[in-house]
């Protein structure tokens, strides 16, 4: 994450310029500018009389929405108008017509010269230009598409919105609701007031079920507790729709292959005097039989077709576990494939099993597509699974900017993927990445260039590799298991040191059948770390810290680091898609480092003359994230993160540097530089003028942080955010080098750092660019009674004192 302190003079000046420029754009033009006499800006929508309905849902039904405004004007409209000022549709139309004529001439020429490469390239270039100009003519130039035009009052859309509101109320039990609207105009700004009379809602008084076939009724009765229709609830039309979908799902998962929701009817009887409804469910009989019948899987076939550019006359036929396999060549394992097929010969049809089978086979990453079809014969089914192999080799290249700490820098990465490497679904991966970044020097000499190179390979097996356990493939296949073995090399060149490491890992991964919970168990995570170059000034700092009781120097000795760890990720309702549904994510992590050292006679790090560091530690972390949408444009997001790590045994109170916790930065407490907050109430070094100098990273053994963010779409790709971050890091025990760094129950709550800020995000779906401006509100490093520092921010000093405000630039959401 990029963090730039506002105490750099040139950066501070640029912020003022940016601030003034934004204000200039905002005040630059009025929404009502250049309107005709009979035109009015839709300035406000107002709903009155809403008491029991979902007001936000009602607002979402209005066909016209006012432009987002700030201080009386709209930045989105101003951007649109700025783009419109040099937009000439006639010129674009003329250019588009000329290009189409030229393309037609080239197409005619190519009929007699189909192999002419110059003509072919020119045609491709013209096609690209025509596509771009067509888009420009239809939707405006790039600035016009980024902004949005001013919303003008449209009486037809206002009347349609009124009908939308009334229809919504009727479908949500307010059968007698009435909606009227009134338009008031002042200075060509229109406010539309929708006057809603909800009246009394109708409630469900009884649920009746007209008898159908016994086999259907028995299944529905056993699942009735999950119904969406409940006595006493307000009648909602959407509940009827959800209930029909639920019944169809239940029956299709119990063998009723031919059943569909079209057989389900509901009759609603209204009692206008009592304001109640009685709901009767009817299941119609099929037209092709006397009753609905359950279907049984009679046979299962799995076919891999040859790639489109290959033709084969001979196919490989095999049978395994009741499945008939047909391969275009002998390079696939029927044992692996059958472990991902949940359909079983002789069992009842289950739609969920068919969908899950398709997902499991797709997750193997061996096939371009997976299609499953069913043929019927009486009440028997033949399942046909048809696939086509994915490309054997896949090369992926990426180039761009990388941002982890200070200033962004270029990176390049490449990955080669070899599918079905050992002919049993294995995947071989080669990876290489090189990048440059700007990082703050620990010796206080400004921002320096840091370079990093990573290379490695991995083999992914689509099963658990467990010795003497041959039955695990079929037993655990439904959990999408895989075993990952990897080996890698990492090289880092920073201003203070050069560091390289060799690492290897053996891990097991699996997930629940609904893919909501993912598990990872790292049986062995091994690293050999060396730091062949340490800057003399930085070495002096490490020695000085050691003399003060801080053993950070041990993290820069040659070391062998090993650990066993496990992690589970529970994803509730697809967190990360950021749609209109509530969602949350929980990560639980545990690690035991240097466990095998307990079985050997290993010298402790605090023994004299030690030149090779050994580590033992325990570590755990809990990370909870919550996404709560208010409506389509507004959401709240929350994160809670707790971590604890404790060295023991031969470590002599020292953790590997990579295992410490760090607070501050673009994904942590954003009002502090990356890795510079805390620990506890310890005081950073002071520079010239007595101000804090956040030069050194601040490792800690415990972290507690919480972030609350309000996100709102402004217009087009632009979103804004308001956020509050709170938290800190601590040491578990007294740290002589940093007084106040230790965690204590009687004072930790006084050491919670608080930062607040505002952010601008550009969400292009495939990429989110984030700009956050955060300022310190509570600084625990200050003496008690002086920790509230937010009052240093004022109109005259919008960035507070030196070092109080931090600017963060990042890719993606912070959580």
Q: Beta 583-593 vs 559-572: how paired, if at all? A: antiparallel
pLDDT band at 511 (very low <50, low <70, confident <90, very high): very high
Last residue of a domain, one of 139, 165, 180: 139
pLDDT at 11 over 80: no
Q: DSSP letter string over 175-187?
A: TT-EEEEEEEEET
- The H or E element containing residue 702 is strand 702-715
pLDDT the model gives residue 403? 61
Is residue 266 within 8 A of residue 235, CB to CB? The reply is: no
Q: Identify the pLDDT of residue 24.
A: 45
Q: Does 443 map to a domain?
A: no
Q: Assign 509 to helix, strand or coil.
A: strand
Question: What's the DSSP call for residue 245?
Answer: H
Q: Which helix (H) or strand (E) holds 281?
A: strand 276-283
Indicate the DSSP class of residue 443.
Answer: T
Name the one residue in this structure whose structure tokens are 């002789």: 346
Q: What is the structure's pLDDT at 440?
A: 59
Mean pLDDT of 627-648: 90
Residue with more model confidence, 720 or 622: 622
The answer on 232 and 267 residing in a single domain is yes
pLDDT at 141: 86
Q: What is the pTM of this model?
A: 0.80
213 and 279 fall within a common domain: yes
Question: Which pLDDT score, from 0 to 100, does residue 14 have?
Answer: 42
CATH number of the domain that residue 376 is part of: 3.10.20.310
pLDDT at residue 615 tops 60: yes
Count of CB atoms situated within 10 Å of the CB of 587: 16
**Environment class of 785 (CB within 10 Å of its CB; exposed 0-12, middle 13-18, buried 19+):** exposed
Which of these three, 102, 117, 139, is where a domain ends?
A: 139
Across all residues in the chain, what is the average pLDDT? 86
> Mean pLDDT, to the nearest integer, of 81-106?
89
Rounded to the nearest 10 degrees, how much is the dihedral formed by the CA atoms of 229, 230, 234, 236? Answer: 0
Residue 631: pLDDT above 70? Answer: yes
Q: Is the backbone of residue 803 left (phi > 0), alpha (psi -120 to 50) or beta?
A: left
For residues 325 and 262, state if they share a domain: no
State mean pLDDT over 454-481. Answer: 90
Same domain, 324 and 243: no
Quick: pLDDT tens for 790-808. 877 766 666 667 777 888 8
Residue 575 token pair: 């967190």
Q: What is the domain count for the chain?
A: 3
Most confidently predicted of 259-268, 393-402, 430-439, 464-473: 259-268
Closest Cα to residue 47, out of 161, 155, 154?
A: 161
In this structure, is residue 259 part of a structural domain? Answer: yes
The alpha-helical segments, DSSP class H, found in 489-552 are 536-547
- Tell me the C-alpha distance between 757 and 725, whole Å: 9
In a domain, 770, yes or no: no
Angle between helices 237-252 and 214-222 (to 10 degrees): 110
- Rounded CA-CA distance 539/551 in Å is 12
Same domain? For 331 and 380 the reply is: yes
In a domain, 353, yes or no: yes
Whether 322 and 279 map to the same domain: the answer is: no
Q: Do 308 and 381 belong together in one domain?
A: yes
329 & 305 share domain: yes
Q: Is residue 17 in a domain?
A: no
Q: Is the pLDDT of residue 12 over 50?
A: no
Q: 791 or 242: whose pLDDT is higher?
A: 242
pLDDT band of residue 260 (cuts 50, 70, 90) is very high
End position of a domain, from candidates 389, 415, 441: 389
Distance CA 400, CA 333 (A): 39
Q: Which residue has the tokens 């984030």?
A: 770
- For residue 250, name the pLDDT band (cuts at 50, 70, 90): very high
Q: What is the DSSP letter of 33?
A: T
Residue 115 pLDDT exceeds 70: yes
Type and span of the H or E element at 369: strand 367-377
More confident residue, 764 or 712: 712
pLDDT in tens, 513-562: 888 899 999 999 999 998 898 888 888 888 877 776 666 777 788 888 89
| 305 and 244 share one domain | no
Arithmetic mean of pLDDT, 382-410: 82
Residue 481, pLDDT score:
94
Q: Which of 217, 210, 216, 208 is nearest to 258 (CA)?
A: 216
- Pairwise pLDDT comparison (600 vs 488), residue with the higher score: 488
- The SS3 assignment for 580 reads coil
What pLDDT score does 315 carry? 84
Strand partners, 398: 413
Q: Which residues pair with residue 400 across a beta bridge?
A: 411
pLDDT for 3 beyond 50: no
Nearest CA among 603, 453, 465 for reference residue 524: 465
Each residue's pLDDT tens digit, 13-49: 444 444 444 444 444 457 888 888 888 999 999 999 9
Both 278 and 305 in one domain: the answer is no
pLDDT band at 7 (very low <50, low <70, confident <90, very high): very low
Mean pLDDT of 699-715: 91
pLDDT of 340-370, one tens digit each? 999 999 999 999 999 999 999 999 999 999 9
- For residue 226, the enclosing domain spans 203-283
Arithmetic mean of pLDDT, 589-610: 79
DSSP secondary structure string, 589-620? EEEEESGGGGGS----TTSTT--SB---EEEE
From residue 803, how far is each of 4, 583, 610, 807 by CA, in Å? 10, 36, 40, 11
Q: Is 228:301 a contact under the CB 8 Å cutoff? A: no
Q: Please check whether residues 275 and 318 belong to one and the same domain.
A: no
Q: Which residue has the higher pLDDT, 738 or 12?
A: 738
Among 482-486, 588-592, 763-767, 769-773, the least confident range:
763-767
The pLDDT of residue 9: 37
Reported residue count of the chain is 815
Summarised one tens digit per residue, pLDDT across range 149-208 is 889 999 999 999 999 999 999 999 999 999 999 999 988 899 999 999 999 999 999 999
Give φ, ψ of 742 to 5 degrees.
Answer: -80, 150
**Domain assignment of residue 106, yes or no:** yes
As given in the structure block, the two tokens for residue 488 are 């890698």
Residue 725 has pLDDT above 90, yes or no: yes
* Whole-number pLDDT of residue 590: 97
Residue 351 resides in a domain: yes
Does residue 277 sit in the same domain as residue 324? no
Domain presence at residue 385: yes
């Amino acid at each position: 994450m990029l963090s730039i302190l506002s105490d750099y003079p040139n950066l501070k000046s640029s912020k003022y310029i940016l601030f003034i420029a934004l204000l200039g754009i905002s005040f630059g033009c009025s929404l009502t500018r250049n309107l005709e006499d009979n035109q009015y800006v839709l300035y406000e929508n107002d709903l009155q009389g809403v008491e029991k309905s979902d007001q936000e849902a009602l607002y979402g039904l209005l066909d016209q929405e006012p432009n987002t405004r700030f201080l009386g004007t709209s930045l989105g409209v101003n951007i649109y108008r700025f783009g419109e000022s040099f937009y000439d549709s006639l010129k674009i139309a003329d250019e588009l017509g000329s290009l189409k004529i030229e393309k037609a001439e080239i197409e005619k020429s190519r009929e007699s010269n189909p192999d002419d490469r110059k003509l072919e390239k020119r045609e491709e270039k013209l096609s690209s230009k025509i596509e771009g100009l067509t888009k420009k003519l239809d939707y405006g130039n790039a600035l016009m598409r980024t902004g949005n035009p001013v919303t003008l009052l449209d009486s037809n859309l206002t009347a349609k919105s009124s009908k939308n509101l009334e229809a919504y109320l009727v479908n949500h039990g307010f059968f007698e609701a009435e909606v009227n609207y009134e338009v008031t105009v002042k200075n060509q700004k229109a406010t539309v007031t929708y006057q809603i009379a909800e009246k009394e809602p109708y409630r469900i008084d009884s649920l009746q079920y007209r008898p159908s076939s016994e086999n259907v009724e028995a299944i529905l009765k056993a699942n009735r507790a999950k119904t969406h229709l409940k006595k006493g609830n307000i009648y909602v039309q959407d509940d009827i729709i959800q209930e029909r979908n639920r019944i169809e799902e239940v029956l299709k998962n119990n063998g009723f292959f031919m059943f569909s929701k079209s057989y389900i009817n509901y009759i609603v009887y209204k009692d206008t005097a009592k304001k109640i409804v009685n709901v009767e469910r009817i299941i119609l009989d099929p037209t092709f039989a006397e009753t609905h019948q359950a279907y049984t899987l009679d046979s299962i076939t799995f076919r891999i077709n040859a790639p489109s550019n290959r033709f084969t006359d001979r196919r490989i036929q095999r049978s395994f576990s009741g499945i008939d396999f047909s391969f275009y060549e002998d390079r696939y394992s029927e044992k692996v494939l059958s472990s991902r097929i949940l359909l079983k010969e002789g069992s009842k049809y289950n739609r969920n099993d068919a969908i899950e089978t398709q997902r499991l086979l797709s997750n193997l990453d061996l096939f371009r597509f997976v299609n499953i079809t069913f043929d019927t014969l009486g009440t028997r089914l033949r399942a046909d699974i048809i696939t086509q192999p994915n490309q054997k080799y896949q090369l992926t290249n990426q180039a761009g900017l990388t941002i982890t700490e200070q200033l962004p820098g270029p990176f390049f990465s490449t990955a080669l993927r070899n599918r079905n490497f050992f002919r049993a679904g294995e995947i071989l991966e080669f990876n290489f990445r090189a990048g440059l970044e700007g990082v703050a020097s620990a010796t206080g000499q400004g921002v320096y260039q840091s370079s990093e190179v990573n290379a490695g390979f991995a083999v992914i097996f689509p099963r658990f590799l467990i010795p003497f356990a041959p039955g695990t493939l079929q037993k655990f296949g439904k959990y999408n298991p895989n075993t990952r073995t990897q080996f890698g090399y990492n090289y880092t060149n920073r201003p203070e040191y050069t560091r390289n490491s060799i690492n290897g890992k053996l891990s097991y991964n699996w997930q629940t059948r609904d893919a909501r919970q993912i598990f990872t168990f790292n049986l062995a995570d091994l690293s050999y770390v060396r730091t062949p170059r340490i800057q003399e000034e930085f070495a002096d700092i490490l020695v000085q810290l050691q003399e003060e009781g801080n053993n950070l120097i041990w993290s820069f000795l040659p070391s062998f680091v090993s650990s066993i760890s496990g992690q589970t990720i529970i994803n509730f309702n697809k967190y990360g898609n950021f749609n209109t549904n509530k969602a949350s994510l929980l990560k639980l992590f545990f690690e035991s480092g240097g466990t095998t050292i307990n079985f050997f006679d290993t010298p402790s790090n605090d023994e004299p003359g030690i030149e090779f560091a050994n580590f033992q530690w325990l570590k755990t972390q809990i990370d909870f994230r919550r996404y709560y949408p208010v409506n389509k444009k507004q959401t709240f997001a929350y994160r809670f993160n707790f971590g604890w790590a404790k060295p023991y045994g031969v470590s002599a109170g020292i953790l590997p540097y990579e295992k410490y916790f760090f607070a501050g930065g673009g994904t942590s407490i954003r009002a502090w530089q990356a890795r510079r907050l805390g620990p506890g109430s310890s005081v950073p070094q002071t520079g010239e003028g007595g101000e804090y100098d956040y030069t050194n990273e601040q490792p800690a053994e415990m972290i507690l942080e919480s972030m609350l963010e309000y996100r709102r779409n402004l217009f087009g790709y632009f979103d804004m955010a308001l956020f509050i971050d709170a938290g800190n890091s601590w040491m578990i025990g007294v740290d002589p080098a940093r007084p106040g760094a230790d965690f204590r129950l009687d004072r930790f709550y006084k050491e919670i750092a608080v930062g607040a800020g505002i952010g601008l995000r550009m969400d292009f779906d495939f990429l989110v660019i984030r700009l956050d401006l955060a300022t310190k509100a509570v600084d625990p490093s200050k003496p008690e009674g002086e920790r509230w520092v937010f009052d240093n921010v004022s109109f005259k000093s919008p960035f507070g004192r030196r070092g109080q405000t931090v600017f963060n630039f990042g890719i993606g959401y912070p959580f």
